[in-house]
Structure 1
């Protein structure tokens, strides 16, 4: 497969010798992340049957150009037509079919009415946009209630927010009344519809197309509920993918014509603030996107760089597209970044093998460490590793494993763990999630909680096990320290503190960022004491609670806060390295002074974001509503 750039779209061309090609149409928002692996797997099956495939991101989504300020789904059908034209030009296929999951199937149907399509595969299609938007609105409300992002999270006029994606309200109004059963024109004469078993109207849609003269093949979408969930839990519908691949590859013959255009071997995406290079690091089997400031000239020294880890099994785009937004925001401020898909995830070479939930987290850390060395070999010196949730843990492991000590900074957001057993997988890490003992103790002191226990509405098992685990760990830690580790071997607490002490001694600047009610605060208390008092002994490590931040960092305000912290660490590590005489790099903010002299004006967005971050040395709140409710 080859990364491609066309008309501001980022995508993948999967070559094959067949004369019939397929364009895959992405679903919307978080569903595009959850279904990314299924789209990749369907592509691999089609290529194995001789069908060339083009996958691509709409403008404003994925790795594609940002386009306008807000997403405009009403224009996605036009972008599908651009993708069809591009596929025909670089493969010389004679006919093109379309395929898509969920809203991607609807977009494919709208595009197919405006061009000559051989066939269309609609997998759990969205028949009614009105019902789909109602569902998205409900999910957004549920997220807002659970994320506790506060009243500051306000959607501006003319926009709608859906799980981190900001969409044009005008564009939604344009398509909001669309119902495919009201469309008299067929998308194609040959149609496959996979029915999810949900009350989505797909059976009615099949009858509608048959009534209008189309040949419709209906199949069951097995494992639909198991597929449509967060990436590390998602289970592939193997039988369905094979059926769809067989159906789309019917009558495929070898192509006899030469393509009109060639695929650029080194594609480049240019935005207003950044230049991005999709890279296949074949020696490691890793895919990545290198993002550099648009103002950097070839003669400039490489700028400080942020190495961005996968969040669980989500590919390098990040939840709510935060990976891309973070990269381009930092490029606008003079910094580079590398978004990485570790092996077994996203678009990496081995992503099609194995279940992502069984991916070993330490292996991801090793891939990140290798990526840091790769950056060093290309002249970068000031490297900061960034990760959210399990990505924070793998970022910590990358910093620990890096023998070349190329990593100068580390930003961990809501880390899922600080230490895990060797060979621990994503699934294993999720099963080990612990709560905060202080939260449980406070909960057990409430009369109403004991009334719930007596009525059988709450159980004490988890609370008691958590309190015992923390107390035992504390006792073992004291015994090991008193005896010089003769009575007890080193505990997880001592190992974590020793690791952070070593990082601090070697000059690594560490920032730990927590949501106010995140379960990860309990782990922080376990290893560094209540309120993180033991971390205050480290000169370069700081821990903060970030106001209005949810666990996945979908909040717009939280994203500004986290971006500001990343910028601060990149500048701090660069200045520290320059002071030690290790680098002579001077990074310039576009139109501004060198980094050594940089002081943002009082009204910059970065300064406003910093003002919303809690005091770095302030005690961390032990309160956690999630653990309190589960006690």
Structure 2
């Protein structure tokens, strides 16, 4: 397979020897993140059956140029599919082209096929048939996410007609209106010579659409899609819909005798793409690292395309969040890379081995794989690539599992000169998955202590206990265990201060000792309600007090910052904190053209909050994003100081 760029759109071409080509049309937003690995595997499977495949990002999505807030995006998405078809037709030997779309991608594929008029086949995987229903689905998904413990401290987005948000991705007003006006029976009455529909969501509407197509003389085959729900799970848990993919392959590949069992776990990259402009003064270049085993996007200011600001400037290395591709949750990796480039700072957003578009290409990813030392080795390799390009090292940004990878890469790779580790949940990892890749133990017990103490103030929680709908003993036992661990850690710290003897947590301390010895500037950033705070307290005391003895490591706690950095407030917190960290530690001055520049009031508020935190914490390394404390935390400080529960804030 090889990367391609056409009219600002980024994609991958999987060439094959046959005369048939297929354009894969991604779903929207979070759905695309969940199914990215599966769609890549489908492209590879089709290529092994002799069908050339082009998969790509629509304008304003993925690695393509543009932003989701731009006007006329709906039209641009349809035109993007048409341009992808034109590019595929230019490939040698392609005689006919089909389209295959998932969810919103299916709807767009049908509309584009109708306009093209010469599409051979159309595969619709649970297409969006009602814009109103889809809008309600997105809103429901957002409300569901807000009810989860991971989103407890988030600032909810306003209920507005200007946009609909789901898991950090937005559809804006004009796109919503365009979608709501779509009627496939009217707008795409006969989109292709033949159509395959796989759907298990909207039987009535699908029946009507299939009937309409048959009345128009279209050859239609309909099948169920019982694997849909497992396919659409978050990236780590998403399961390849094997039965559905086999049906698609057979339907598209026809009489090919190639076996799907021959699909390899990786294929070499072929061809290079030169740097291209994605917005004013910002250029991006697809790059392969270590012979094509790792893939990334190098983003740099146009004025300094070689080193992005000069040979002495460190570049930023952005690694995967969990099993999500380099694009990042809510497209954070892409947006932040371009924001940094506008300030004169180059970056590389890279897929670690087995993730995104790096090798090997896998059917499934496990937690053990995410936390394996191979990931740290891959991050170190990417850092060396940046150094070889002329940068004065790499400053690493990692979130969740990416923070773990970043910690261990920074602790031993000389090319890494700094690291910001966001919501780091584990300092060490011991394999927990069985032979099927499923965790054999609970990864996290009940969330952060503070989140549960806060939830205990909600009357509806107690009402469920009174009604017998839930029990309180498991929570009480877990809290008691955590309090005991906290007391042990506090006692160990006191003994260590008095005697100088190091008690426990030696393995957890080792990477931080290495960071200190190598002089790597490191910042740990936690949301105040993040589960990782419990791990920090367990091994390093309240507010990570033991880490304050290190000169190069600082711990920061930030309100309104969810674990996966999906909310707009969390994204801004991470980006602004990283910019401050980079500027203060590495001497880079942010440009006046910074799009998200802080206002004077914001800067004063942050300075006031930090001063207040330092006054309260004394010699603590922790700082607040703002100085406000919840009433629950204030009560606990007053009445349960022995447990120091306020240390999370």
Give the TM-score band, short-chain normalised.
0.7 to 0.9
Q: Report the counterpart of residue 267 of structure 2 in structure 1.
A: none
The more displaced of 94-103 and 525-534 is 525-534
Asked whether 1:352 is paired with 2:362, we answer yes
Distance 1:604 1:444 in 2: 38
Question: How many pairs are equivalent?
Answer: 593
Q: Corresponding residue for 1:317? A: 327
Q: CA deviation at 1:189?
A: 2.1
Cα displacement string for residues 599-623 of structure 1 (whole angstroms, at most 9, x for unaligned residues): x99x933877656655275567797
Shifted more, 157-166 versus 508-517: the winner is 157-166
Paired position in structure 1 for 2:342: 332
How many Å separate the matches in 1 of 2:459 and 2:200? 46
Q: Distance in 1 between matches of 2:506 and 2:64?
A: 45
The aligned counterpart of 1:56 is: 56
2:293 paired residue among 285, 288, 293: 285
Q: Which residue of 1 aligns with 2:234?
A: 230
Q: TM-score, normalised on structure 1? A: 0.84
How far does the alpha carbon of each residue in 1:457-510 deviate from its partner, in whole angstroms, 9 at most, with x for none? 2242354245336635864896799699xxx9973x343344324323422222
Residue 409 of structure 1 pairs with residue 423 of structure 2: no
* Whole-Å separation in 2 of the counterparts to 1:448 and 1:103: 37
Any idea what the Cα deviations from partners look like across 1:499-523, whole Å, max 9, x if unmatched?
A: 3243234222222222232222222
* Displacement after TM superposition at 1:201 (Å): 2.9
The alignment partner of 2:560 has SS state of coil
What's the offset of the Cα at 1:353? Answer: 4.7
How many angstroms does 1:237 deviate by?
A: 0.8
With over 3 angstroms needed to count, the CA separation of the structure-2 counterparts of 1:605 and 1:302, relative to structure 1, is: same
Describe the superposition over 1:532-573 as per-residue Cα deviations: whole angstroms up to 9, x where unpaired: 333333323222232332222222233222112222222334
2:410–2:419 Cα contact (<8 Å) kept: yes
Deviation at 1:395, TM superposition (A): 1.3
**Counterpart position of 1:370:** 381
User: Which residue does the alignment assign to 1:7?
Assistant: 7
Distance apart, 1:231 and its partner CA: 0.6
Q: 1:572 aligns with which of 565, 572, 584?
A: 584
Q: Which residue of 2 aligns with 1:265?
A: 272
Equivalent-residue separation in structure 2 for 1:397 and 1:200 (angstroms): 53
Q: Is residue 2:568 matched to residue 1:556?
A: yes
- The answer to whether residue 446 in structure 2 is matched with residue 421 in structure 1 is no
1:609–1:157 distance in 2 versus 1, CA, 3 Å? farther
Shift of 1:322: 0.5
| Corresponding residue number in structure 2 for 1:218 | 222
Residues 64, 441 of structure 1: CA spacing in aligned structure 2 closer, same or farther, 3 A cutoff? closer
Measured after TM superposition, the shift of residue 251 of structure 1 is 5.9
Aligned equivalent of 1:582:
none
TM-score with structure 2 setting the length: 0.82
Question: In 2, distance between residues paired with 1:216 and 1:449?
Answer: 51
The residue that corresponds to 1:128 in the other structure is 130
Alpha-carbon spacing, 1:507–1:163, altered in 2? closer, same or farther (3 Å): same
* Residue number in structure 2 paired with 1:258: none
Q: Which residue of 1 aligns with 2:616?
A: none
Look up the match of 1:596.
none
In structure 2, relative to structure 1, the CA distance for the partners of 1:523 and 1:610 (3 Å cut) is farther
3-state secondary structure, aligned to 2:115: coil
Is 1:431 the counterpart of 2:442? The answer is yes
Equivalent pair of 1:184/1:212 in contact (CA under 8 Å): no
Q: Find the counterpart in structure 1 of residue 99 from structure 2.
A: 98
Matched position secondary structure for 1:431: coil
Distance, in Å, in 2 between the alignment partners of 1:446 and 1:559 is 28
Counterpart-to-counterpart distance in 1, 2:360 and 2:45: 15
CA contact under 8 A between 1:63 and 1:317: conserved in structure 2?
yes
Name the CA distance, whole Å, in 1 between partners of 2:10 and 2:240. Answer: 25
Match for residue 545 of structure 2? 533
Q: Among residues 528, 542, 554, which one is paired with 1:516 in the alignment?
A: 528
| Aligned positions of 1:85-234 closer than 5 A | 85-115=86-116, 116-144=118-146, 146=148, 147-148=151-152, 153-154=157-158, 158-183=162-187, 185-197=189-201, 201-234=205-238
Task: After TM superposition, give the deviation of residue 377 of structure 1 in Å.
Answer: 2.6
The CA deviation at 1:320 is 0.8
Specify whether residues 573 and 311 from structure 1 end up closer, same or farther in structure 2 by C-alpha distance, changes over 3 A only: same
1:359 counterpart SS class = helix
Secondary structure at 1:415 match in 2: coil
Query: Once the 2 structures are TM-superposed, how far is the Cα of residue 171 of structure 1 from its aligned partner?
Result: 2.5
* Alpha-carbon distance, 1:184 to partner: 6.2
Q: Which moved more, 1:164-173 or 1:462-471?
A: 462-471
Determine if the alignment matches structure 1 residue 36 to structure 2 residue 36: yes
Alignment of 1:375-390 (within 5 A): 375-390=386-401
Q: Is the 8 A contact 2:24 2:56 kept in 1?
A: yes
Q: What are the superposed Cα offsets for residues 266-295 of structure 1, whole Å, 9 maximum, x if unpaired?
A: 332212242111112243611111111222
Tell me, in whole angstroms, the C-alpha distance in 2 between the residues paired with 1:160 and 1:442: 28
Q: Distance in 1 between matches of 2:126 and 2:305?
A: 48
Give the alignment's Cα RMSD to 1 decimal. 3.7
